[in-house]
Amino acid sequence: MVQEAIRVFARLKPLGRRQQAGIYSVDDDEKSLSSLEIIVPHDLAHGFINNKRESYEFKFQKIFDQEAKQDVIFDNIAKPVAERVLAGYNGTIFAYGQTGSGKTFTITGGAEHYNDRGIIPRTLSYIFDQLQKDSSKVYTTHVSYLEIYNECGYDLLDPKHEASRLEDLPKVTILEDSDQNIHLKNLSLHQATSEEEALNLLFLGDTNRMIAETPMNQASTRSHCIFTIHISSKEPGSATLQRSKLHLVDLAGSERIAKTGLGGHLLTEAKYINLSLHYLEQVIIALAEKNRSHIPYRNSMMTSVLRDSLGGNCMTTMIATLSIDKRNIDESISTCRFAQRVALIKNEAVLNEEVDPRLIIIQLKKEIQELKDELALLTGKQRTSELSQEEELQLDESIEVFLKGSDPDSSLDVGADMRKIKYCFIRLKQLLNDSKVSDKKLLLQHISEEKDTTESEDELKNLKELLQQRNNEINILVNMIRKEKKKARDALFQLNGTSADSTVLEQSHSLNLDESRSPSSCSSLKEAKDFRSSFHRLSLLCRKTGGKMSLGCQEAFEVFKQDHADSITIEDHKQLLKQRFAEAKCLGEKLNEVRNTINHLKGAITQRHIQRAALAVSSPSEELNTLDPVEEKLRRQIEEEKQSYKTMFNRLKGLKIEIEHLQLLMEKAKMKLQKNFEVWWSEEATNLQEKPEMVNSSNTTTGYPQFIKSSQHLSTNSFSETRRVNPNEDLAGKSNPITPSNPTSKIRTPSTSSVPLTGDSQADADILAFIKARQNILQKKGLGNK
């Protein structure tokens, strides 16, 4: 049990534009109570000279001056109460003050800013946050919202009623049980599993309150609103339940009938407009008086409902809201006086624990069973009655635990009851049979899986075989090409004679010149035939593979493209493309970022709308109809982001076009290069084909210069604009061992048999072109020059 006085705080509302502050001072002492001094000038009472004291001092737990923000109010006033409620104690926070002094602002919140949300939403947020953090207990949360107007209670959360008038809402009445506990009939309790759900309920209640209000009944100033959070908690397995409630109360305006007393009696206590506040005061006076046995709670509905909060089992806090402008000084003093009385009341908060009878029953049943077992064991008496369904279920559970347990020493303990022992044996037999059946199923499944595996193994075998086959084919082809290369080399030397004591010569098999010259040379002829056929096969293969180049051809192409201007262009494009891709990637990432920012800002605006709508419901104000500066700012930010998105998007679009363009250009350059090579390659072949006599003639000096010339001509002519001219080119050409200009070269007349022409013009051209390509390659590799 915790005994403590009601804690009383004061909050001063900021002055309006046309308001003039009364004279007051706040002495905010951190250690002890704070004091508020209000000075009333002599001339206040219509200029009468009177001897009334002019200074009033009031003590409060803490005084929050005009600039105090909602979060500070929550932290100082509501949070400690919420903490106690979570611990299982009841709590009440009520705001008391004249109309317009900021009760609703403090309890529910202001309509303009998110930061203005009041004690109820902040407390809900705090409570749900705490509940989420605590996994040691199971919590249930409900809320209710009651409005008391003219001694009648109304349920603000009834979903069935569309309240167009307060009277349309379900009427809540008070019932008192024999223990004098108060029950509210017709007040609905709504479970809220999250902060969001609870807030929705708060807004629903505020909407109903607003709709039901008419200027005539002025419900919001003349009624009391009690928003209650009910929390129940239980530790798992425990039979003890904790129940607590937190009342957040927005009282009716405390203004009195007359502000000043008759005959200049300044600040005479006038009668409350609201009768229930009058009774509230009576209760408080009674509570403050020592030895009062009767407290008149029952005089009004409001005091009945708040009975526990006043002098009962509750941690109660009062917030005196004060409007400190000149004209309201007397009301403020009344409020402070009331607060001083309230501060005298002592409450006794007890932990609200109760035992859940259902849980007790379960515990007792278990105990009975244990005792029965023990008895049966001691007396050895066998029972013949059937096992109950519950007992069977329990045994099933024990068997399951026994079977699943990993401890080899564990035992299935069912006591000395033979019925149970028999039951266990039967169950175990059943389970054993079941598991046999499932084992069979598993086996069948396993067999079918194995079958599947065999099938896939077969497939794998087939694929492996296919792979081997392909490998063989490739090996054959590679061997063929090697052979062909070798033969080409041989043929080349036969063409050149032995004059070139080059590395090629060294590398090649030594050639018997006589043999090579002799038309009757079988080996040479045979080789030539082989070469011819293999080359022919190769070119055929080349054609068959969709125009793909043979290896020799590819080699020639590699060399061909090295110095070709198109390949430089391609390389440049490649570099530029790389750069552009990187730029595009970077831009894409930035665009995503901007898009996310825009979405985020849009979300913030939606959030803003929801808040403002909610605030419009809870405390409507003119300003809510005006433009929201925060939203305006968010919109401006969105516009800016959109602008930069647009710019970046356009740049990306441009880049995309540029990239596509570059890719096309590159493709084009590649094709041109290939085409040039093909033209050169086929021209070479045609040249040779047209002048076979040059090749076949006894004087290669006429044939070869042409051959070389043609090649040079092609090189300089076809690519004259693009090719970078090598000043050594001519020299290189002249130093070619097969050129007649080389004085050192031993010019030989290749016999017809040494140039393995087939008579098939295409194949012969191919052969000669190939030989030429080889020569060029060797030359470029520095082999041919030696």
Contacts of 272 (CB under 8 A, 6+ apart): 254, 255, 256, 257, 278, 281
Span near ligand ADP by CB under 6 A; candidates 19-27, 99-107, 397-405, 417-425: 99-107
Residue 784 interacts with, from Mg ion, ligand ADP, none (CB under 5-8 Å by kind): none
Span near ligand ADP by CB under 6 A; candidates 93-101, 181-189, 274-282, 746-754: 93-101
Q: Which two tokens stand for residue 740?
A: 């007649």
Span near ligand ADP by CB under 6 A; candidates 98-106, 135-143, 166-174, 732-740: 98-106
- Are 360 and 240 in contact by the 8 Å Cβ rule? The answer is no
Q: How many CA atoms lie within 13 A of 116 on its CB side?
A: 18
Contact between 244 and ligand ADP per CB under 6 A: no
d(CA 672, CA 606): 59
User: Which 315-334 positions form the footprint of ligand ADP (CB under 6 A)?
Assistant: 321
Span near ligand ADP by CB under 6 A; candidates 102-110, 406-414, 475-483, 683-691: 102-110
Contact between 494 and Mg ion per CB under 5 A: no
Please give the residue whose beta carbon sits closest to ligand ADP in the complex.
102
Q: For ligand ADP, which residue of 59, 62, 84, 103 counts as binding (CB under 6 A)?
A: 103
Span near ligand ADP by CB under 6 A; candidates 100-108, 311-319, 379-387, 594-602: 100-108
Question: Which helix (H) or strand (E) segment is 614 a member of?
Answer: helix 565-618
Q: Which two tokens stand for residue 756?
A: 């393995």
Q: Which two tokens stand for residue 39?
A: 């000075």
Residue number with CB closer to ligand ADP (250 or 417): 250
Residue number with CB closer to ligand ADP (339 or 553): 339
d(CA 521, CA 512): 10
Contact between 228 and ligand ADP per CB under 6 A: no
Edge-first strand listing for the sheet containing 23-27: 23-27, 34-39, 55-60
d(CA 250, CA 238): 37
Contact between 109 and ligand ADP per CB under 6 A: no
Q: For ligand ADP, which residue of 61, 92, 104, 775 counts as binding (CB under 6 A)?
A: 104
For the chain, how many helices (H) and strands (E)? 22, 17
Write the burial class of residue 294 (CB in 10 Å: 0-12 exposed, 13-18 middle, 19+ buried).
Answer: exposed
Residue number with CB closer to ligand ADP (209 or 774): 209
Q: For ligand ADP, which residue of 100, 311, 692, 784 counts as binding (CB under 6 A)?
A: 100
Distance of closest approach, residue 308 Cβ to ligand ADP, in angstroms: 24
| 252-284 burial code (b ≥16 CB/10 A, e <16) | bbbbbeebeeeeeebbeebebbbbbbebbbbbb
Contact between 118 and ligand ADP per CB under 6 A: no
Distance of closest approach, residue 353 Cβ to ligand ADP, in angstroms: 36
Distance of closest approach, residue 62 Cβ to ligand ADP, in angstroms: 15
Distance (Å) of CA 13 to CA 21, 38, 48, 121, 319: 11, 15, 30, 20, 12
Residue 105 interacts with, from Mg ion, ligand ADP, none (CB under 5-8 Å by kind): ligand ADP
Residue 750 interacts with, from Mg ion, ligand ADP, none (CB under 5-8 Å by kind): none
Contact between 405 and ligand ADP per CB under 6 A: no
Contact between 110 and ligand ADP per CB under 6 A: yes
Please give the residue whose beta carbon sits closest to Mg ion in the complex.
104
Contact between 102 and ligand ADP per CB under 6 A: yes
Distance of closest approach, residue 46 Cβ to ligand ADP, in angstroms: 28
d(CA 443, CA 378): 48
Contact between 715 and ligand ADP per CB under 6 A: no
Q: Angle CA(663)–CA(666)–CA(670) in degrees, nearest 5?
A: 140
Residue number with CB closer to ligand ADP (22 or 102): 102
Measured from the Cβ of residue 173, the count of other Cβ atoms closer than 10 Å reads: 13
- Are 89 and 244 in contact by the 8 Å Cβ rule? The answer is yes
Distance of closest approach, residue 90 Cβ to ligand ADP, in angstroms: 24
Q: Which of 160, 154, 308, 322 is nearest to 224 (CA)?
A: 154
Residue number with CB closer to Mg ion (96 or 126): 96
- Are 573 and 665 in contact by the 8 Å Cβ rule? The answer is yes
Binding mask 89-128 for Mg ion (x = CB under 5 A): --------------xx------------------------
Q: For ligand ADP, which residue of 19, 35, 76, 99 counts as binding (CB under 6 A)?
A: 99
Binding mask 598-637 for ligand ADP (x = CB under 6 A): ---------------------x-x----------------
Q: Which of 152, 183, 181 is nearest to 168 (CA)?
A: 152
d(CA 15, CA 23): 13
Contacts to Mg ion by CB under 5 A? 103-104
Contacts to ligand ADP by CB under 6 A? 13-14, 97, 99-105, 110, 221, 253, 321, 619, 621
